[in-house]
Amino acid sequence: MSLLENKIGIVFGVANKRSIAWAIAQAWKKAGATLAFTYQGDRLKENVEELAGTFGPDTLILPCDVTKDDDINRVFTEVGAKFGRLDLALHSVAFAPKDALEGEFVNTSREAFRVAHDVSAYSLVAIARAAAPLMTQGGSIVAMTYYGAEKVVPHYNVMGVAKAALEASTRYLAYDLGPKRIRVNCISAGPVNTLAARGISGFSEMLKHYEAHAPLKRNVLPEELGATGTFLASDGAAAITGQVIYVDGGYQIMGM
Ligand code: NAD
Ligand code: 0WE
């Protein structure tokens, strides 16, 4: 039997075929899950419909700006109406204004700080709250994070602070939702060449740095994030909650 047979999931954060969300969605689908997808706005509608459209007629595809409570509530109302239940949710969404990732952290504006935290951290809380009533047989919520949450990665700046908030939110959500058998975990991925990473100056040097310094001497592959996402979604992880799992070739263990 497949690992996620009869599970219903929702995926936030597919922008294109390189998105980490797409890698995890494909793995969830392959493991037997039925999926709903959300996309940020009209700009990404066609992309997501083209990708997720290959998943069959029972695939729900809905717009959702995660900074809008009404969008989030509408999405979960529609998931409830179509499937009657939910088992899995993937949060793979982050944004900070570009200039906040270029200068010094000390110059982060109030507005850039607010936006980064709203999109990248608070949205997990809002999604978990809306998902929980549908997770009537328990559930698994997975969010994507990055090492810049715990150590200084030059230029990651306010995103690192927002990821720290995301990781702490994961722990508090795990505590609140544990009695309902809803687990909440983060995958901390090593650098992956996606849309969100492409614009970052020095990103290819970062990939080389990981190749040189991570114990496994290579970068992480999207399908490896898919495999960890499937594990965390599966009953094999039934006693794992509130954790940050590093899928980074071992980079995080190094002191030098
Ligand atoms: P991506 O650009 O493919 O995905 C980011 C997604 O966030 C996009 O789909 C975008 O539409 C969505 N998004 C941004 N603002 C939104 C909003 N207001 N409402 C709804 N959606 C919104 O890039 P990715 O690298 O796949 O990023 C996915 C996640 O993985 C992010 O949380 C990112 O921080 C994390 N991550 C990425 C890397 C990396 O190196 N690429 C490493 C570790 C963690
Ligand atoms: O979480 C991320 C990137 C998220 C991200 C990317 C952008 C680029 C375009 C958030 N907001 C924006 N805003 C934009 O305008 N990563 C883990 C990838 C990443 O980004 C970095 C990194 C790494 C790794 C930025 C600086 C240093 C390292």
Looking at residue 201, its pLDDT comes to 87
- Supply the residue whose CA is at minimum distance from atom 15 of ligand 2: 98
Closest ligand to 17 CA?
Answer: 1
State if residue 139 touches ligand 1 by the CB under 6 angstroms criterion. no
CA 19 to chain centre: 10
Mean pLDDT of the 36-63 span: 95
Does 156 sit in the ligand 2 pocket, CB within 6 Å? yes
Is residue 219 one of the residues assigned to a domain? yes
- 1 domain residue, yes or no: no
By percentage, how much of the chain surpasses pLDDT 90? 96
- Kindly tell me if the per-residue pLDDT of 112 is higher than 80: yes
CA of 94 to the centre of ligand 1 (A): 5
Assess if residue 256 is contained within a domain. Answer: no
Q: How high does pLDDT run on average in the chain?
A: 97
205 within a domain of the structure (yes/no): yes
pTM of the predicted structure, to 2 decimals: 0.99
When pLDDT is averaged across residues 109-137 and rounded to a whole number, the result is 99
**178 part of a folded domain:** yes
Q: Does an H or E element contain 186, and which?
A: strand 182-189
Total domains, the chain: 1
Task: Kindly report, residue by residue over 221-239, the tens digit of the pLDDT.
Answer: 999 999 999 999 999 999 9
Range of the domain at 86: 8-249
Number of H helices, E strands in the chain: 9, 7
**pLDDT in the model for residue 137:** 98
Q: Residue 34: which CATH number?
A: 3.40.50.720
156: annotated active-site residue: yes
Q: Is the CB of 112 under 6 A from ligand 2?
A: no
The 10s digit of each residue's pLDDT in 49-60 is 999 999 988 899
CB 141 within 8 A of CB 154: no
Residue 35's beta-bridge partner residues?
9
Q: How far apart are CA 46 and CA 95, in angstroms?
A: 21
